[in-house]
Chain A
Amino acid sequence: MGDGTTIEITGLTKRFGAVTAVEDLTFTVEPGRVTGFLGPNGAGKTTTLRTLLGLERPTAGTATFGGTVYRDLKRPLETVGAALDAAFHPGRTARNHLRVTATAAGIRSSRVGEVLEQVGMSEFANRRVGGFSLGMRQRLALATTLLGDPRVLVLDEPINGLDPEGIRWIRGFLQSLARDGRTVLVSSHLLSEVQQSVDEVVIISRGRLVRSGPLSSLELDSSPRTVVDSPDRARLAAALDQAGLEYTEGRGGFIVAEPDPGMVGHAAFVGGVELSSLHRLKSGLEDSFLALVGEGEGAA
């Protein structure tokens, strides 16, 4: 798409010295939907977003808005609104922070009052950011993204630090942005945090893509299953094949399409395989998410 509203990540790799933060990552984010960009802390979400926004240079691959890199966008803030770490100069007021940013991007200053109103921060406009709670900073960061009335929103952990009322508010807000036909990409390390507001998910773990598709495809995974793991996965796979059980391999072990862990344990016993974990995957999106990203056993 030429209008730059589709986020396209293609073969993206980013290394910091010997550490590979993101490896050969490919996915697209379409307009009109809220897409959750999920993965545990350290999975490479922030690095991916920073590369997309031209703040970090990719080692290989590309991250573009419909083929255009951020730096080459004609009016970046009027194309993409991004909130990365809610960092502000503590001595500057909320209004002045927005004015400084609007001036740099060539956005008329009347937008400042409008976006403050939009995020419900008008009464704090003339207070210094140094006294703000994390939740207020998050709202101010969101207001900054809206300055240019962009078609694409990229929000890194926007729900972090919000109180329950704030969480409810932002869920509705994100949905209304997507209903306008905007592209909304929201990162989080917890699926449960965003599952009520996202339509699509892109799940990464250790810098690699684990799953991308509609949230409903993850729901299919959430019928009762059994998670099993072994120090010798090849033999475990053979034992499961032998027993005629269907399974997929996640980072936390095999997810077996069998609600009864006893059956899976028996299959392993017959095959003479040592098990390191065996438990029922509770019917919940979070569990299938955690199983996919390899934190199933730690969190269960």
Chain B
Amino acid sequence: MSIVRSLGSEFQKVLTTRMWWLLALVLVGYVAMMSGGFGAFLGWATQNPDAAASAGGDTALPPGVELAPLLYSFASSIGYVFPVLLGALAVTTEFRHRTLTTTFLAEPHRTTVLSGKFVSQLVVGAVFGVIGFATSVAAGAAALAAFDLDTGLDSSDTWALVGRGILAMALWGAIGVGLGALVPNQVAAIVIVIAFTQFFEPVLRLVSSLNDVTASVGRFLPGAASDALVGASFYSVASLGSTDSLEWWQGGLVLLGIAVVTTVIGGATTWRRDVS
């Protein structure tokens, strides 16, 4: 089966360069800092409401918000940029280093190659999900336990959230492949990923939440759909409005749709071109 060979080759490509563990390392550091740090701060603020208030902040969470899911979901709500980057790099690196020639000589059926990248990055994204959630649960639970707060580790809801979060990270890896196929220029692809995930989307989500009409559109933004799939997020607390997010499965379908549509369009355009 040529798709199996292609898949095996794509996994080897990921594992034989340093990018995957560099990104995994940054993911662990980033998520540990946010989940553990934020957990410790909220834990302290919950125990010392007067001191927290005098420090100049209204730190009280809206009623009904649980701390544990909020902290654990940092793995996907801020960590999703890493599988996207790795997925996009899996495609753009081949253009940048002109290795597409060798790749297409070994497997001249280009759809098979792209399918191999799509599926392998789903798996790599899921592995990043496992790494990210292991970090956020460990750091977050440690912080909560330090302040005698409920870690939620004995609740099946927590583990369902972790499972959905890993699924979200997998889908983000596939979205990266689609983006790379659409924008084969590596620098452009990286700039788009960073600018969109770190700036444009957060701003759009915040702005769209100000008004009910825009909010109903804003929940289809990829990051919002991802948070809906996972079921909790820092944004759902920070957003000013109160519009319901999508159902978790709707969020998953939005992510899957983005991954498939971008990959199919990229596969029918830039991926079909002459390799010179």
Known: A55-B274, A87-B99, A87-B102. Contact between A93 and B16, CB under 8 A? yes
Chain A interface extent, by class: 20 to 34
Partner of B5, one of A55, A92, A93, A106: A106
Contact check, A76 vs B108: say whether CB atoms are below 8 A apart: yes
Query: A90 to chain B: which residues have CB within 8 Å?
Result: 97
Docked Cα-Cα span, A100 to B106, in Å, equals: 10
Contact check, A77 vs B105: say whether CB atoms are below 8 A apart: yes
Contact check, A70 vs B16: say whether CB atoms are below 8 A apart: no
Tell yes or no: B257 within 8 A of A by CB. Answer: no
Known: A103-B8, A103-B9, A105-B5. Contact between A89 and B17, CB under 8 A? yes
Contact check, A50 vs B276: say whether CB atoms are below 8 A apart: yes
Query: B17 to chain A: which residues have CB within 8 Å?
Result: 89, 91-92
Docked Cα-Cα span, A202 to B18, in Å, equals: 44
User: A95-118: contact bitstring with B at CB < 8 Å (1 yes, 0 no)?
Assistant: 010011101111000000000000
Partner of A100, one of B2, B12, B109, B113: B12
Query: B113 to chain A: which residues have CB within 8 Å?
Result: 104
Contact check, A100 vs B9: say whether CB atoms are below 8 A apart: yes
Query: B275 to chain A: which residues have CB within 8 Å?
Result: 50, 55-56
Contact check, B9 vs A56: say whether CB atoms are below 8 A apart: no
Known: A50-B276, A105-B5. Contact between A85 and B108, CB under 8 A? no
Query: A54 to chain B: which residues have CB within 8 Å?
Result: 104, 108
Tell yes or no: B6 within 8 A of A by CB. Answer: yes
Contact check, B9 vs A104: say whether CB atoms are below 8 A apart: yes
Docked Cα-Cα span, A103 to B104, in Å, equals: 13
Query: B104 to chain A: which residues have CB within 8 Å?
Result: 54-55
Docked Cα-Cα span, A100 to B274, in Å, equals: 22
Docked Cα-Cα span, A70 to B2, in Å, equals: 15
Query: A71 to chain B: which residues have CB within 8 Å?
Result: 108-109
Contact check, A104 vs B103: say whether CB atoms are below 8 A apart: yes
Query: B274 to chain A: which residues have CB within 8 Å?
Result: 50, 55-57
Tell yes or no: A188 within 8 A of B by CB. Answer: no
Chain B interface extent, by class: 20 to 34
User: A53-74: contact bitstring with B at CB < 8 Å (1 yes, 0 no)?
Assistant: 1111100000000000011010
Which residue of chain A has the shortest Cβ distance to B97 in the bound complex? A89
CB neighbors of A among B99-152 (8 A)? 99, 101-109, 113
Could you give 27 example pairs across A and B, Cβ below 8 Å? A54-B104, A55-B101, A55-B104, A55-B105, A56-B274, A56-B275, A71-B109, A73-B108, A76-B105, A84-B101, A87-B97, A88-B102, A89-B13, A89-B99, A90-B97, A91-B17, A92-B13, A96-B12, A99-B12, A100-B12, A101-B106, A103-B8, A104-B6, A104-B8, A104-B113, A105-B107, A106-B2
Which 7 pairs of residues, A with B, have the shortest CB-CB distance? A104-B9, A87-B98, A96-B16, A104-B106, A56-B274, A103-B9, A105-B106
List B residues at the A interface (Cβ < 8 Å): 2, 5-6, 8-9, 12-13, 16-19, 93, 97-99, 101-109, 113, 274-276
Supplied contacts A103-B9, A105-B5, 5 more A-B pairs, CB within 8 Å = A76-B107, A77-B106, A87-B102, A100-B12, A101-B102
List A residues at the B interface (Cβ < 8 Å): 46-47, 50, 53-57, 70-71, 73, 76-77, 82, 84-85, 87-93, 96, 99-101, 103-106, 144
